[in-house]
Amino acid sequence: MYFVQSKRLSSIEGIVHGFADRNVCADIAEIEKHFELSKIAQLKQVHSADVLILNSVENHDDLSEGDALVTGLKAVGIAVRTADCVPILLVDDRRSVIAAVHGGWRGTLSEIAMNTVRLIESEYGINPSQLTAVIGPSIKKCCYEVGEDVASLFKERGQNSDQYLFDSRDSKYTLDLSLANKLGLQKAGVTDIEVIDICTRCNDSFYSYRREGRGVNTQLSFIALKQYARK
Q: Give the nearer residue to Zn ion in terms of CB position, either 119 or 143.
A: 143
Q: Give the nearer residue to Zn ion in terms of CB position, either 102 or 140.
A: 140
Question: Taking the complex as a whole, how short is the minimal distance between the CB of residue 210 and Zn ion, in angstroms?
Answer: 9
Q: Which residues contact 49 (CB under 8 A, 6 or more apart)?
A: 67, 107, 110, 111, 112, 115
Question: Taking the complex as a whole, how short is the minimal distance between the CB of residue 178 and Zn ion, in angstroms?
Answer: 11
Q: Give the nearer residue to Zn ion in terms of CB position, either 37 or 175.
A: 175
Residue 11: what are its φ and ψ, rounded to 5°?
A: -85, -5
Cα 79 off chain centre by: 8
Question: Taking the complex as a whole, how short is the minimal distance between the CB of residue 202 and Zn ion, in angstroms?
Answer: 3
Would you say 25 and 31 are in contact if contact means Cβ atoms under 8 Å apart?
yes
Footprint on this chain of Zn ion (rule: CB under 5 A):
140, 142-143, 199, 201-202
**How far apart (Å, rounded) are the C-alpha atoms in residues 218 and 211?**
13
Q: Give the nearer residue to Zn ion in terms of CB position, either 25 or 202.
A: 202
Pick the closest to residue 141 from 114, 184, 180, 104 (CA basis). 180
Q: Give the nearer residue to Zn ion in terms of CB position, either 22 or 118.
A: 22
Q: H-helix or E-strand containing 224?
A: strand 219-225
Question: Taking the complex as a whole, how short is the minimal distance between the CB of residue 14 and Zn ion, in angstroms?
Answer: 34
Q: Give the nearer residue to Zn ion in terms of CB position, either 1 or 202.
A: 202
Would you say 162 and 117 are in contact if contact means Cβ atoms under 8 Å apart?
no
DSSP state of 119: H
Question: Taking the complex as a whole, how short is the minimal distance between the CB of residue 50 and Zn ion, in angstroms?
Answer: 29
Question: Taking the complex as a whole, how short is the minimal distance between the CB of residue 137 and Zn ion, in angstroms?
Answer: 10
Cα 216 off chain centre by: 18
